Structure 1
Amino acid sequence: MTTTETRAPAGTAPRATPWWRRPWVFPLGLIVTVFLVYSLPPYFGLDPAESRVPVPSGAGWYYPALVTHIGFATIAMVTCALQIWPWLRRKHPVAHRRIGRVYVFAGAIPASIAGFAIALAAPFGPVGAVSNVLLATLWFGCTVQGYRMARARRFGEHRRWMVLSFALCMSIISNRVWGVVWVIALGPQLDTTFGGSPAAMGQTIAGLTTWTGWVVPLLVAEWWVTRRRAGAGSR
């Protein structure tokens, strides 16, 4: 991502936009913090009975894989939020590179691999399973490609792929928002569309939530990247 600059008088160097004039910096950090504070405590005791995600019976490997995914995804979310902070990138490029390696190798890659594994046995039905498998695959692919572009010093392409990786990383938050939306939208249809079956409605909501949770942020990120590149090209 490029650093936005304010116009400066002729003959003077442009000034970078102060962090407090970027209205998304603080809210993003706050949202990530609140999400993690709410989501992580049930897993501190390593008790499957406290899991917010139902553990399938007969799959003894599922809960350890789930905790592994959550642990690495937590690292990914924290480091990813730092990586898109323009002040850190501009003022501390060495820290940006080091935190980026942590995001890639101790966050996104292991989290996506563990996420792929648990997606295959997730108790949310085949529609949700396919969505989560694709999410994990795309997160892994975008992250690896972004790292490769940085190593090749193709920083424009690096930013593009990492913006997509960021959108997929943070889609877990979008997922929660869409879950509420679909509950509100489909709840009144329990006795009609779903024939009075809470299980059928739950499977439908889970499937819709998993798909919209990452597809919508990914489309928005791609639109944003394309728009920025088009603007840079015209200039």
Structure 2
Amino acid sequence: MSATSTVRRFRTLAVPLAVLTVVFLVISLPPYLGLDPAKARLPVPEDVPWFYPALVAHIGFGSIALLTAALQVWPWLRRTHPAVHRWSGRIYLGLGVIPGGVAVLAVAPFGQTGGPTGQVANTMLALLWLATAVAGYRAARARRFGEHREWMVRNVALTFSIVANRPWSMLCIAVFAPEVMGTGPVDPAVLAQAAGVSMWLSWVVNLLVAEYWLHRTRTRRGVRGGPTAKHRQPVPATS
């Protein structure tokens, strides 16, 4: 195998996504490994008994989604090992996105970090996460692989919203609640709103970037003169 083909194989978004995922999970998972609600990074409402179990379930299933997402966006793997792509996709959806999204729906309406703004943001995220997963799965089952690819690009963008939320949180707090940095008394309402805004930005911006990338991809294919994968029709079998 030539050095050029080896470089081309690994010149993909999958590698930095995989590294980012591992770093994120190493930092984020330890407080939940002991199943102690007191160590949770999020406030656990005492009057919602299912909140913490649902939160832990979401974190577990979400971790599976993050880890398998890198395989899903690796073009070389998809082209040369389609069976691995299919099975990792089944794990991504069946043990990651679908149960993780359902768990979010049990948690999001009761989250206290971002107040009502954050509750709505996370509920909308969960609904879109599930909807794009179902749309992508149905397109694949119907062998509309161009549509399947586009839906899954959107879905992976939503999957990584939890990772994007970390820098957005720091930025929103610095802009809207700089008192947290020790410059004065902290207004809990303002801090909650800053957290809520970061929750919206974490998935809305990801989705906009995904849509822009899909648009650019369609445009490049159109310029080359060939039909996009979305519009390619299977060749009918002949007798």
Common fold by TM > 0.5? yes
Partner of 2:154: 164
CA contact (8 A) 2:125 2:158 kept: yes
Secondary structure in 1 matching 2:49: coil
Secondary structure in 1 matching 2:177: helix
Q: 1:69 aligns with which of 35, 42, 58?
A: 58
Partner of 1:31: 20
Q: Which consecutive segments of 4 or more residues in structure 1 shift more than 3 A?
A: 187-190
TM-score (norm 2): 0.86
Superimposed CA distance per residue, residues 153-181 of structure 1 (whole angstroms, 9 cap, x where no aligned partner)? 10100000000000000010111110011
**Could you list the runs of 5+ residues in structure 1 that have no partner in the other structure?**
1-5, 7-14
Q: 2:123 aligns with which of 113, 129, 133?
A: 133
Tell me how far apart the structure 2 counterparts of residues 215 and 17 of structure 1 sit (CA, whole Å). 33
The structure-2 alpha-carbon separation of the partners of 1:120 and 1:188, relative to structure 1 and needing over 3 Å to count, comes to closer
State the 1:210 CA deviation: 0.5
State the 1:196 CA deviation: 4.8
Q: 1:48 aligns with which of 33, 37, 57?
A: 37
TM-score (norm 1): 0.87
Partner of 1:100: 89
**Could you list the runs of 5+ residues in structure 2 that have no partner in the other structure?**
225-239
Partner of 1:155: 145
My pick for the range that moved more, 80-89 or 180-189, is 180-189
Superimposed CA distance per residue, residues 193-222 of structure 1 (whole angstroms, 9 cap, x where no aligned partner)? xx9543022111111110001000001101
Superimposed CA distance per residue, residues 126-184 of structure 1 (whole angstroms, 9 cap, x where no aligned partner)? 11100100000000000110011011110100000000000000010111110011122
| Number of residue pairs matched by the alignment | 217
State the 1:189 CA deviation: 6.8
Percent identity, aligned pairs only? Answer: 50
Tell me how far apart the structure 2 counterparts of residues 234 and 49 of structure 1 sit (CA, whole Å). 56
Tell me how far apart the structure 1 counterparts of residues 75 and 202 of structure 2 sit (CA, whole Å). 26
Q: 1:119 aligns with which of 89, 101, 108?
A: 108
